[in-house]
Structure 1
Amino acid sequence: MKKIIKCTLAFLVMNSFSYGQWNPNGDNTTSGNIRATNPNNTAASNSLSWYNNIARLRVGGVGIGASNGFDFQGPGDTSLFRIMGNGNIGIGTTSPGTWKLNVKGHVNIGGDGNYRLRTRHVDGKSSTSDVIDDLYLNYNSGKNVYVGYGDNAHSNFYVFGRIRNGGADFQLGVHDGRDQGTKTSNRALVHYINDELHLNYDSDFEGGTFIGGPKVIMDNVGIGTRNPDPNYKLSVNGKVRAKEIVVEANWADYVFQENYQLPTLEEVAIFIKENYHLPDVPSQQEIEKEGVAVGDMQRIHMQKIEELTLYILQQEKRIKELEVQNAKIEALEQKLELLLERK
């Protein structure tokens, strides 16, 4: 820098001014160019001039220094602002690299006013190099980040990928202009203790939680209980009211097959006397411990109904046989009476 200044001064004193002399204590004016050559290569120079009514600061020529651009320095030859020969600018750094603007330090855009920064893409970078890395917004500031927020028209926020929320709460609808109810925390999802995920935490959405769609696919579900039985897909601690329930189960038509071994009523009577319940039916103790499997119980009920039907048919057959026998006995009795009357 000192060499550049010395060269410039020498040039000004000897050649630059078309009128007057160099004034070290006041203003100096020239109608020509102010030009300084590189002491190490006189074919490279920089100049201050006018071109097409535009003030121009130019570095050029050929050889050493001709394409190195400008370096604006402060006290102690400290680089403040660097413009490379290819137009790349470095602030706080003499090596902007391939970036059109490379700033080493904090940047305040807008000063103390409410101004905008308009750009197409924003990428994060490493804290130790210019390699692309995570992007931090309002890092460690405790302040919110508003996306598309405004008084009149809101913009959408599109994410093509996963969304990770570092906090425990995920709030929805805080500024959507809709009825907020009496609760305004709007905690749609909450990562609760014991690694639980709560939907509509503490009933913040007082209108309820609606799950739509043609399908709702879940794994083990507990209603009215925090500890659903892992052996069942649905555990309900409370009453259930429904217009219809369809249970898929095996049926008991095997009772009517010819090879079915229908126990005799005598065998049933002995079993009841010994066990205090019907054969193939769970005992009271089993029901109290395990509950009632609706599908199996419906099958057992149908099995017993079909067995009762077979017993009724057997009794019907027996009754008809007895009726025939009674008719024969009555006929014999009538003949016996006639013979006795003849005597």
Structure 2
Amino acid sequence: MTKYMKLAWLALALMTADTAATQTYNGTAFTLAPPSGVGPGQFINGNGDAATFSTVDNEIDSWWGLGIKSQCCSNYVGYGIVFDARAGSIYTQGNVGIGTTTPGLYPLFVKNSGHWQLLNLQNPSTSPGAAVIQFDRSAATANPAVWTVGYSDYNAGDWPLGFTVMDATSGSNLTRLLINASGNVGIGTTSPQYKLSVNGTIQAKEVLVNTGWADYVFQPNYRVRPLAEVAAFIKANHHLPDIPSESEVKENGVSLGDMQAKLLAKIEELTLQMIQLDKKNRALAKKVAQLKGR
């Protein structure tokens, strides 16, 4: 260790341009201090199976350091790296901690005591492509998988945020969820045309729809079609008035909120027609009773 420390000290001495700097060696540590005693200085320490290099500025009470620990009787190096906690610390013992010296079992542990983002990843390239984070275990013999999240140029000028997973059967990477530049969300589709586009079946306990309703049927100026007119329309078109045909639904789909309102309008029209029929039946029954009483 002493041999390596002397080589490090020699390199440090050659790199400094300040010939008036104070240089000292006590057998285990080298110190390079500015001539005025003020400002940053370098410190190299070799003690036992550890070696550290640090820069200390006593004037502002700040430092950073690099530590290497070699285990006994092996060539293992790279045991630990630590920076001043005020600038964010990095510690490695197989695992990496940023902002913490105790990453635990996590290969990468990032900690931030403030309220800003923990991680900022940037692709500075001006060429088209993608900027993604990918978790890959496609080489696994059992249940291989790839999971990706990030931006991708599906269409020119459109940079959606997509979540991609690998299909274990085909081995292809498939986009399962996507948010495009317009804020539309696609599940099972990469070209959502609405705020939520789903290529598949949706199961829900409840769906709340806020839309217009059919109370206009009960307004005095609303015209209720006579049943004879409705019958003629059905015979000619094979569907109810104001209700889309089967071919229209297959081509364009239906709006659930709008369709519910239209179906309610038909129920309300039927109710008004039944009320009218009831009035006619009562009037007929009254006339029949009068005729019987003669």
TM-score by length of 2: 0.53
Higher RCO (CA 8 Å, separation ≥ 6 residues): 2
Residue 271, structure 1, aligned to residue 233, structure 2: yes
CA distance in 2, matches of 1:249, 1:80: 75
1:222 is paired with a residue whose SS is: strand
TM-score by length of 1: 0.46
The number of residues matched between the two structures is 213
2:230 is paired with a residue whose SS is: helix
Letter in 2 for 1:189: V
CA distance in 2, matches of 1:79, 1:261: 100
Query: Which residue pairs with 1:164 in the alignment?
Result: 121
1:148 is paired with a residue whose SS is: strand
CA 327–79 in structure 1, closer or farther in 2 if over 3 Å, else same: closer
Query: Which residue pairs with 1:134 in the alignment?
Result: none
Residue 222, structure 1, aligned to residue 189, structure 2: no
Offset of residue 304 of structure 1:
0.9
Offset of residue 302 of structure 1:
1.0
Indicate the RMSD between aligned Cα atoms, in angstroms. Answer: 5.0
CA distance in 2, matches of 1:321, 1:186: 76
- 2:260 maps to which of 298, 311, 323: 298
Residue 147, structure 1, aligned to residue 96, structure 2: yes
2:254 is paired with a residue whose SS is: coil
Letter in 2 for 1:247: V
**Counterparts of 1:85-96 in structure 2 under 5 Å?**
85=20, 87=22
1:248 is paired with a residue whose SS is: coil
Letter in 2 for 1:158: K
CA distance in 1, matches of 2:103, 2:250: 63
Offset of residue 296 of structure 1:
1.1
Deviation per residue, 1:156-196 (Å, 9 max, x gap) = 42255442166744449x9xxxxx99447674636667366
For structure 1, the 5+ residue unaligned runs are 1-71, 92-96, 124-136, 138-144, 175-179, 205-217, 333-343
**Counterparts of 1:55-94 in structure 2 under 5 Å?**
85=20, 87=22
Query: Which residue pairs with 1:177 in the alignment?
Result: none
2:206 is paired with a residue whose SS is: coil
Residue 285, structure 1, aligned to residue 224, structure 2: no
Letter in 2 for 1:252: A
Paired residues of 1:73 and 1:81 also in contact (CA < 8 A): no
Offset of residue 251 of structure 1:
1.8
Paired residues of 2:132 and 2:148 also in contact (CA < 8 A): no
Offset of residue 295 of structure 1:
1.0
Offset of residue 256 of structure 1:
2.0
2:274 is paired with a residue whose SS is: helix
Letter in 1 for 2:96: V
Query: For the pair shown, which has the larger CA radius of gyration, 1 or 2?
Result: 1
- 1:100 maps to which of 8, 17, 41: 41
Query: Which residue pairs with 1:323 in the alignment?
Result: 285
Residue 189, structure 1, aligned to residue 149, structure 2: yes
Query: Which residue pairs with 2:270 in the alignment?
Result: 308
Percent of aligned pairs sharing the same letter: 30
Offset of residue 319 of structure 1:
1.1
Paired residues of 2:188 and 2:198 also in contact (CA < 8 A): yes
Paired residues of 2:22 and 2:32 also in contact (CA < 8 A): no
Residue 234, structure 1, aligned to residue 183, structure 2: no
CA distance in 2, matches of 1:310, 1:80: 98
Offset of residue 321 of structure 1:
1.2
